[in-house]
Amino acid sequence: MVDPRLPEDVLIEILIRLPVKSIVKLRCVSRTWRDLIRSPIFINRYQNRERKQSVLLVKRYTKRQTEDEAILSFHNPDFPELLVSPYLSIPVLNDLDFPTRICSNFRGYFHVPIYGPCNGLVCIPVDNIIFLCNPALREFKPLPPPSIPCPKGYEIWAFEFGFGFDPNTGAYKVIQISRIGADNYEDFYLNRDHYERLDLYDSASNSWKHIDEKLPKITCMTSFQTFFGGAFHWYASKDINDYPYILCFDIRTEAFQLLDFPDDFPKAEGLSSLTVLNENLAMIGFPRWRGEPEPSQIIEIWVMKQYGVKESWTKQFVIGPYMVFCPLLLLNDEWLLVESDNGQLGLCALHENKFKGLPFYGFHLSLSAVVYEESLISLNDIISSDCENE
């Protein structure tokens, strides 16, 4: 009994209706309340509650005096122009001298995306460190780096990731795809004399293992990957002139699968972004923005109505023309959140020809966004101190 005047089950029913920031404050009421709120039973009840509040999480940069500060900002998906919670600074990103590296160092992490979400958690790779983050609890936790052998005269570039939950084992898993190639610019960045490698992190053991599989060329760009149906999905091709397809990796079976593009998908001189729409895998096709003074981009959104069946691809929306550098995600079946040509966060209406600019900007390729549901899952419970000491 938490309080003799209030049965525990009644208190739990009250607490699970509150936002995470209120529950965190209530842990200070008493030791009994703290233990209840931190208990696995309460956390599971909160995770599985009926009324869940979605939050739009945006990774961007804001001006702080004379410095540009990397932050996570929190928004209502229905009104993304409004902040719903104080922003969360990302000190590890600020330490990278981000704007300078965009201009002067192609090998730097000029783009730092958010991977996930998964049970209210996200994954953020920064330079050579991968962080798990619970934005609602303001928690960051670094993962141990994978051990990757590198032949003499070669270098390693970890360029694509994935983050998901394996319900069979109850573990969180992170995928890292690395390119290992000759340590000179021409060979490394023109994809000569290189190979891809896939490593899988498991939170249950707090360790990595190598997946011994020959990988095709994976395209590295904002929103080109998504986690759906227990599998990671990436835009891929065998070489730059090859017909593209979607490479899938199931974290439960650790098996690969290839999904075909629709026949009429606009691939020539264009880009594509993977996302989810109405619980179906979806793909956004858009031409490369080449800096034309007038908008010229027609954006197509295709939905795979039956997973794995090429013939089920359906063209759901055609919108534009807009000047869009990269789409980020779909919001409420009404809007496509994008990074516009000038680094502004914007919304493209799906059902009418309308663009709405939001009062947030980033450097080129610096914006990332996900919609997640707040969680009380602590990173300290996912990766125990016993695992960390192994």
341 and 280, same structural domain? Answer: yes
223 and 103, same structural domain? Answer: yes
What is the domain-level CATH number for residue 144?
2.120.10
Inside any domain, residue 342? yes
Residue 203 pLDDT more than 90? yes
354 and 244, same structural domain? Answer: no
Q: Where are the alpha helices (DSSP H) in the chain?
A: 8-15, 20-26, 31-38, 40-47, 91-94, 98-104, 185-189, 379-382, 385-388
Confidence of residue 163 (pLDDT cuts 50, 70, 90): very high
358 and 218, same structural domain? Answer: no
Chain centroid to Cα 295, Å, comes to 28
Inside any domain, residue 340? yes
125 and 241, same structural domain? Answer: yes
Which helix (H) or strand (E) segment is 226 a member of?
A: strand 225-228
Q: Round to whole Å and give the CA distance between 176 and 200.
A: 7
Inside any domain, residue 1? no
Inside any domain, residue 378? yes
> In a 3-state reduction of DSSP, which class is residue 152?
coil
375 and 247, same structural domain? Answer: yes
Q: What is the pLDDT of residues 104-141, one digit of tens each?
A: 333 333 467 889 899 999 998 887 789 999 998 989 99
What's the DSSP call for residue 312?
Answer: G
What contacts 33, CB < 8 A, 6 or more positions away?
A: 2, 26, 27
Q: What is the pLDDT of residue 144?
A: 92
Cis peptide before 321 (omega within 30 of 0): yes
Inside any domain, residue 2? no
Indicate the length of the chain as a whole number.
Answer: 390
146 and 101, same structural domain? Answer: yes
As a whole-number percent, the residues of the chain with pLDDT over 70 amount to 78
User: Mapped to the 3 state alphabet, what secondary structure does 271-308 carry?
Assistant: EEEEEEECCEEEEEEEECCCCCCCCCEEEEEEEECCCC
219 and 137, same structural domain? Answer: yes
Q: Round to whole Å and give the CA distance between 221 and 101.
A: 17
Cα–Cα distance list, 203 to 38, 106, 142, 316, 389 (Å): 20, 31, 12, 38, 13
Q: Alpha-carbon dihedral of residues 309, 314, 316, 322, nearest 10 degrees?
A: 100
Inside any domain, residue 70? yes
Confidence of residue 53 (pLDDT cuts 50, 70, 90): confident
Q: What is the pLDDT of residue 104?
A: 30
DSSP 103-134: HH-TTS-S----EEEETTEEEEEETTEEEEEE
369 and 283, same structural domain? Answer: no
* Max mean pLDDT range (82-91, 163-172, 316-325): 163-172
> In a 3-state reduction of DSSP, which class is residue 192?
coil
Phi, psi of 58 (to 5 degrees): -120, 125
Question: Domain count of the chain?
Answer: 3
Place of tokens 């394996």: 166
303 and 238, same structural domain? Answer: no
Confidence of residue 158 (pLDDT cuts 50, 70, 90): confident
Inside any domain, residue 60? yes
Residue type present at position 189: Y
163 and 98, same structural domain? Answer: yes
Residue 21's domain comprises 8-45
330 and 211, same structural domain? Answer: no
In our burial notation (b when 16+ CB lie closer than 10 A, e otherwise), range 295-304 reads: eebebbbbbb
Inside any domain, residue 3? no
